[in-house]
Structures are given as structure tokens and as C-alpha cells.
Amino acid sequence: MEKKTEQWSDKKIQRRTFFSFAGFLLASVGGWFSWKWFSGLPPTNNRLPELTRDVLSFNERIKDKFFSHKHLAKTYPKARAARKPRLNGFIGIKDDIDTEKWRLEVVSPTGKPSIYFQLKDIQALPKEEIIFDFKCIEGWDQIVHYSGIKFSDFLNKYKLGKKEGTNEWYKYVGLETPDAKYYVGLDIESVLHPQTLLCFEVNNQPLPKLHGAPLRLIIPVKYGVKNLKRIGKMYFSDTPPRDYWHEYGYDYDVTL
Ligand SMILES: Nc1nc2c(c(=O)[nH]1)N[C@H]1C(S)=C(S)[C@@H](COP(=O)(O)O)O[C@H]1N2
Ligand SMILES: [Mo]
């Protein structure tokens, strides 16, 4: 009885050895043939650029994930958001504001008259929300829940931010409070980032005055300083717009 099992297992081992060796042979021969096929393709063959393009765009995707403005900030479940988000920085928002009379002024880069938007023009776009870790350069952070519209949707819908008659974006966007006391400059890549929002709600409620009513910027790829509250004016340029904290020596970019 014991003898028999031993014989069987010997046979099994032999069979396995044979198959794995055959598999190895097949793989090598297959590999050699596909290499022959690939390298032997005439340069005019359409399949060749297609294959290399696949590899290139794969590399591109990896690069974008780790090194570009396109990476997404981490998001959290709503339950993690602060019920009473911290308030910080009140430059340009201390005066009272009549949100009915408020308008967002968008300055024409070519000297035409400004365009003025009401809140309802902004709220006409698809609503988006984000729950993310808001980080202030002073050293605190907090998970917050904001809603608004994508900045990119706003620009695309109202055809703003591109050079006249072209498909080319201006390199920067400038934002200022209505009294021009606080102002920031933003690179266009960060403005067009899918998580960059023009917000009118926090925790599903209209923005309180000190969080930037009626409209504030939420730009999760940057530190708090760039998240301008109470936007009054927007403009476009190819040179870096003036930036309040940069004038006090902070890094212009403050990308996280
Ligand atoms: N108008 C205006 N926006 C501002 C500031 C400011 O002083 N004035 N401070 C900035 C800074 S430094 C931070 S950390 C955030 C704080 O936003 P919060 O008060 O909603 O938490 O607002 C930013 N936006
Ligand atoms: Mo901040």
C-alpha cells in the first residue's frame, strides 16, 4: 500500500516537472517570437506607434498621479466634517455685506467692460461638494464640508479665462475681496483642478459671513491662505497676480 502511493507521487512529480518545463519552454519561445514580431515590424506599420503610445500614456498616467496638479486631495465621509468649522483670517470681510446686492465682477483681459454675475448665475451650474482636510499654514488643519460649483465649470460655461479666439488659457487667475484688501494669485492648473470649487455653502447651510458669504474659494490643493473668502473680483493674466501673503514673504505657490 505504501509502495503504491510512493510510486504515484513519483509519477506526479515527473509529470509536473515535465509540464512546468514545457511551460517554461513555451513561454520562452513565445516571448522570443513576439519580440521577433515586434522588432521586425516595418516602421510604417500602424501597430507600432500604437503600442509605444500605450506605454507612453501609461507612463504619463503614473507621472500625473504623483507629480502633477491633477492628483486628488483625500476626501472623507460627511460624518467626519467639523460641525462648527474654525474661523481664521478676516482681512477684507469685516464690513457688513448685502448678499442681494453682491455681484462677482469678472474683469475682461482685453479691456472690454467687466461682466457681473449674481449668485443665481453661479448656482445654475451643477452642484458639487467636498469633504477634505483644510490646512492652514499656521499649523492647524480640520476636516470641512463645503458645497458649490467647479471653478472649471464656471469658466467653461461663461467662456472665461481663455485668450480671445484661441483655446489657450491665461496662466493665472487673480481673486480679490470686494474692498480689494485681501487678494490671491492662482496658477491656472490649480484653478482648473476638479476639486477646486466656488462655494456658497458649508455643512449644507448658506455660508456665514465670516466663512466668506456669499461666495468663497475652496482649493484643496493649496494651503488655507489661498482659499479667499468673499470673492468680489476675478481677473486673468499671464504674469503672477498680486498675492497678499506673498507680499509678506510666504511662498507664492503654497501647493500641498
Ligand atoms: N478674505 C479673506 N479670505 C481669507 C483670509 C482672510 O484673511 N481674508 N484668510 C485665509 C486663511 S489664512 C485661512 S486659514 C482661511 C480660513 O478660512 P475659514 O475662516 O473659513 O476657516 O481663509 C483664508 N481666506
Ligand atoms: Mo491660514
Query: E strand or H helix at 158, and its extent?
Result: none
Q: What is the pLDDT of residues 178-204, one digit of tens each?
A: 999 999 999 999 999 999 999 999 999
Beta strands per DSSP E along 42-164: 104-106, 115-117, 128-135, 141-150
Cell match 491665461: residue?
170
Q: Is the pLDDT of residue 175 over 90?
A: yes
* Domain limits for position 183: 68-248
Residue 183 lies in a domain: yes
Ligand 1 atom 13: the closest Cα is on which residue?
Answer: 224
Residue 23 lies in a domain: no
211 lines ligand 1 (CB under 6 A): yes
Q: What is the average pLDDT value for the chain, to the nearest integer?
A: 85
Residue 194 lies in a domain: yes
Question: Which string of b and e fits 57-87 if b means at least 16 CB within 10 Å?
Answer: eeeeeeeeeeeeeeeebeeeeeeebeeebee
Dihedral class, residue 111 (left if φ above 0, else alpha if ψ from -120 to 50, else beta)? left
Residue 3 lies in a domain: no
Selection from 220, 233, 100 nearest residue 178 by Cα? 233
Residue 155 lies in a domain: yes
Give me the CATH number covering residue 187. Answer: 3.90.420.10
Ligand 1 atom 18: the closest Cα is on which residue?
Answer: 87
- Say what the pLDDT of residue 125 is: 98
Residue 201 lies in a domain: yes
The type of residue at 172 is: Y
Assign 13 a pLDDT band (cuts: 50, 70, 90): very low
Q: Are 146 and 86 in contact (CB under 8 A)?
A: no
pTM for the full model? Answer: 0.77
- Say what the pLDDT of residue 49 is: 46
Distance from C-alpha of 53 to C-alpha of 67, rounded to nearest angstrom: 20
Span 120-138, average pLDDT: 98
Count of domains for the chain: 1
Residue 115 lies in a domain: yes
Residue 133 lies in a domain: yes
**For residues 19, 22, 27 and 29, what is the CA-based torsion angle, rounded to 10 degrees?**
-170
- Say what the pLDDT of residue 132 is: 98
* Centre of ligand 2 from the C-alpha of residue 223, in Å: 7
Q: Cα-flanking dihedrals φ and ψ of residue 115, to 5°?
A: -105, 140
DSSP for 89-108, written as a single string: --TT--S---TTT--EEE--
184 lines ligand 1 (CB under 6 A): no
CA distances 21 to 18, 31, 32, 195, Å, are: 5, 15, 16, 53
